[in-house]
Amino acid sequence: MRYACVLGMLLWACSKRPSAIAELTKADGPVERRSTSTAAGTAAGAADSAAWAAAAVGTRYFLGDAARTTDSTATLDLGGSGAQIAMQDHTVLRFGGKPGEPTISVEAGAIDLAGTGSYSLDVGDVTLARNARVRITSRGSGRSSVELTIGEGQVAANGQTFDLAVGRSIEVDREASVPADAGVRDARAVPADAATDAVEDAGSDAGPDAGAEAIGEAIGEATIEVIGKRAELRAPGETAWKPLPAGAGALARGSAVRVGTGTTAKLVAGGATLELGGGARAQLGADLTLSIEQGSGKAASTGPATIALPGGAVALAGAPRAPAEAKLDSTGRGTKITMLHGGSKLTGSGDASLVMNRGETASLARTGAIRVVEAIPRYFDLRVAPGESLTIHDPRPPTAVQLRFDGKCPDGGIIEVDRDARFRTAKLSSGRDFANVMVGGGSWAYRLRCTANGAEGNAVASGRVTVIRDAGRRPLPKNQGVNDIDADGRNYRISYQSAIPNVAVHITNAGARHKLHLATAGKEQTFDSNTSSVLVPGAQLHEGTYTYWVDRDGVKQDKVSTLAIDFDQTAPQVYIESPINGQAWNGDLDVRGAVLPGWSAAVEAIAIPIDKQRRFAAKVGLPGGAALAIRLSHPQRGVHYYLRRSK
């Protein structure tokens, strides 16, 4: 719809003096302006220039001007009307047309146009209702795609008008051709050169598979690519399955596909890609919705897309630079959904629904019931620095652990957690400055990988987390007495709990003088005695294996014995007296307990003194997380956190 002085929401004064078409109102990096308009030159008090110049917030754009972003985004207000243009990075936007009838031309990159009204593009007109928003993307060679992302809208070009639908892209160009859904063209009408152009137009940032997908979308409503010899197709309206040869081709609406062992298939339709593994079966609906009926597959999208499932559906919330990807495993009982990238919304029967984020897993029964299998906690019990290895003593595991990035990943990253340090079946959680993970009982390896350009790099930090069910309430062991062993050629073992005890070595057929030789790791100690036993102080022993023998009256005896000394891992090392787990917290918390020798205590990085009786006590504030974490550390035993939660 056009008016004498207003084109949609782009204002142009009716007087001879032209008004600015747009004004730069926000930028998160460098933005440039190229001026070819006399209005801009007059406003600047300088002659016209075709050179690009830096544009600050507040810069106005006139007829003939162009705007450009590099590694940044920018927002332009259109004529003070409330309509806005959000320029994506690496975008060139030009305001063309003629006085009173300006047009928007996206020469490179993409913009989001939001508002209510009619807007002229160089390839046609777009009408938006109720503050709708469209993504306009340059496809090169005078072509652009228009995709509705919010609200309602229409696109008119070359004498025809088409309704826009969320998630469906319409391609238009400046030539006298009919607009078409992106990828709804007859394969026979596209020459080889056009297919090559489609690959190039997909953009170098789209990844190695983007070219193949661009060709696929250029030749039909839905496409399929088969690798292997055991694929079958059930045509629309038929009941018989027929062999489907390897290679790529179009897929008719209503078709069903199944693949056997050693064969894979990739289906592209409705803005989604569905990769099927051996033993999987899928179907293409009349509305171009893909559904997986059986077996394993991987669904992905770079925009809003839905995959139908037995009992419901999963709506992927992908974006061009942030694809959504989900692993699907469908059996006779239901489907397990694991989000590998991005987010989604899982829907089942009735009002059942679940918003899922990366790293989360849920199951959808064929009856439509949804069950959470693995959720990323929105809270934390304790925070952990990257690379720290620790043991968590939790009265009621699992434990919500927040792993900080501490500036190691400027663009965010992921935490992978697995019982196997090779991370073959890792569960993951992503974030900008930290990531929360729910850790169950047992020992787990974790690593931090930074995200850059939509992919994760090598690990920049790693460690281990062990969670045991323990309230720290067992009494500490008392000091052990003297342990008796004989110098008789046998093997002995001593397991200690708090400190290595003194050892008395008894000698048979005693003489007047005895010398005990105690050797380990290439070093030897000797102890003299005038009785039938030799006392070895525990302070002069350490964990390990010793060999020992006795000289009686200066003569070495032929019996050589061994002594192994190890720590009793089952013995309590820490006793937490207060606070009691599960009691209500009111104000500051009274922290008290006792430890064996060698331990140090802290809460929230604040050290708690330990007295000569190896007891500690302090008043601490309420914790920042859901639990109080009392940190105990030992040079040999490592770092241990004892948790307390309020009622």
The single-letter DSSP state of residue 610 is B
The residue ranges of every structural domain in the chain are 6-181, 221-374, 390-468, 483-567, 574-644
pLDDT at 178: 44
What's the confidence (pLDDT) of residue 418? 95
- Burial pattern 188-198, b for ≥16 Cβ within 10 A else e, equals eebeeeebebb
E strands of 43-141, at which residues?
Answer: 52-54, 60-61, 66-69, 74-78, 84-87, 92-98, 101-108, 110-121, 124-140
What are the helix (H) ranges across 36-106?
Answer: 38-44
Please answer whether residues 96 and 103 qualify as being in contact, where contact means their C-beta atoms are separated by less than 8 angstroms: yes
In order, the DSSP letters of 423-482 are: -TT-EEEEESSEEEEEE-SEEEEEEEEEEETTEEEEEEEEEEEEEEE--S-SPPPPPP-P
Contact 392, 466 (CB under 8 A): yes
d(CA 597, CA 600): 9
How high is the pLDDT of residue 8?
38
> What pLDDT does residue 37 have?
57
> Measured between alpha carbons, how far is 96 from 121 in angstroms, rounded to an integer?
9
Domain 483-567 - what CATH class? mainly beta
How far apart CA 259 and CA 232 sit, in angstroms, is: 6
Signed CA dihedral, 516, 518, 519, 524: sign only: negative
Residue 80: predicted pLDDT: 65
Query: What tokens were used for 435?
Result: 């990531």
Q: What pLDDT, on a 0 to 100 scale, did the predictor assign at position 166?
A: 60
pLDDT value at residue 213: 35
Q: Which residues pair with 618 in a beta bridge?
A: 591
Stretches where the chain sits below pLDDT 50 are 1-16, 38-49, 176-178, 181-220
CA distance linking residue 266 with residue 13, whole number of Å: 54
d(CA 342, CA 347): 17
Which of 50, 53, 12 has the alpha carbon at shortest distance from 33?
Answer: 53
Q: What CATH class does 574-644 carry?
A: mainly beta
Q: What is the CATH number of domain 6-181?
A: 2.60.120.1440
Same fold, 221-374 and 574-644: no
In this prediction the pTM is 0.53
How far is Cα 537 from Cα 293, in angstroms, rounded to an integer? 72
- Assigned CATH topology for domain 221-374: Jelly Rolls (2.60.120)
Task: Report d(CA 156, CA 127) in Å as an integer.
Answer: 8
For residue 567, give the nearest of 501, 469, 487, 513 by alpha carbon. Answer: 501
Q: What is the pLDDT of residue 476?
A: 87
Q: If you search the block for the tokens 């927040």, which residue do you land on? A: 402
The fold for domain 390-468 equals: Immunoglobulin-like (2.60.40)
